[in-house]
Structure 1
């Protein structure tokens, strides 16, 4: 891969957007590589958790605007067909039934902001800056932002962030519920990896069921969610992980899963 760096160790996968010369802006090549890699990750049962980050003090500056202007005029149909590569990224990332942690340093503009919103947990450095920048260049939000942003911040605030294309800092992002934690830049990846390693020790069955259920919950009703809950509990309680967890509890042995305290 020319635009991504990928590593997998003890169930923790780390995906780094790696075009530092453009603050990791998404070129067509990066979009294709990202779609392919996410498909591989989704099919790899050795991956228990995914951390997404960016190289060289930036998360992602959005789409590569320079590349957008190259290649001559294209019809709306051709441009819509070209969006398929970005749709694939959203489909693969949202379909991943394991936890995804975004470790966001520096800029997360446009599609970079959208990628962060698709992750289950967002950690920001204290120098992170986020912006639904599309309106500034006459475009509309993409990569799932129309779906994810209102679910995170509410409809009125989502409208304000999209219509105004204003920048928000890490503190405001946390206040709006976009970020779970804000950390000094040097602590960002250690914290992300500490959380990731804790997830790698969790029940893969329980985690998968919980993630899928939560993704369905806002568009569902109570009877449906109760049925998902009952079916999921039957699966989880019959897993080898749950049996071992019960044995450890009865024997007063340390649990397999333990959430890392803040700052650890």
Structure 2
């Protein structure tokens, strides 16, 4: 538990972070943003946690920023507002810095900053009733929580421009087609599937996962020679890990592998 607006549960190597403002469709206000950042930072250094699921309470993922709270600050200067955006920047950095598997279980609305947060997940699962949108331009704002950076890397530049400029809503099937989501599931199957994948990834090598996640984050701004050098250094580290030694022992002894990926039924 991190506070009323963000719930944190831990079990069997998996942490579940739940946005818990269902009456506001889990819109993130200042306390919620701060609680999320604190939770993500604590999970990054928690050796007992090997995978994280991010979701929302009450049938919605996150409706974005708390627009009412933004309007209440009408007397603030540009400089004060820019300073206030530091919270969203810290949230973006905390999401990007999490070098453990992050699964977003998206039900209901994922608008604005809610969709921005989902873009940081290694795996995005959506329910068949999910509604997603980069809504910022509808109210004269620009994307935040790092969406200008993340969205083109997930869906490509032209599609990112269309989603941002139009601020239109789209559903689960389109999210699958544009590779924003991996699977679409019935609402009641969403969290069980997210937990199934999280438990599987929790049994993977934390060293190999962290190295791969860092490399994949760097590859679009890099070149082949740089990535080959990173590959050599990373593989040398992975080959020296206790996880690899145990995997080889199990292979030689014909024992079941520690890591198995669950198939979708």
Aligned to 1:60: 62
Say whether residues 1:256 and 2:253 are aligned partners: no
TM-score, L = length of structure 1: 0.98
Aligned to 1:215: 217
Matches within 5 A, 1:183-262: 183-262=185-264
Question: What is the CA deviation profile of residues 43-96 of structure 1, one whole-angstrom value per residue up to 9, with x for unaligned ones?
Answer: 212111110000010000000111111144110100010011111111011011
Matches within 5 A, 1:1-264: 1-263=3-265
Structure 1 runs of 4+ off > 3 angstroms?
none
User: What 5-or-longer segments of structure 2 have no aligned partner?
Assistant: none
Q: How far does residue 205 in structure 1 lie from its aligned partner after superposition?
A: 0.5
TM-score, L = length of structure 2: 0.98
Distance 2:35 2:72 in 1: 20
Distance 2:40 2:205 in 1: 22
Corresponding residue SS for 1:193: helix
User: What 5-or-longer segments of structure 1 have no aligned partner?
Assistant: none
Q: How far does residue 40 in structure 1 lie from its aligned partner after superposition?
A: 1.0
Distance 2:63 2:74 in 1: 23
Question: What is the CA deviation profile of residues 123-161 of structure 1, one whole-angstrom value per residue up to 9, with x for unaligned ones?
Answer: 000000100000000000000110111011111111010
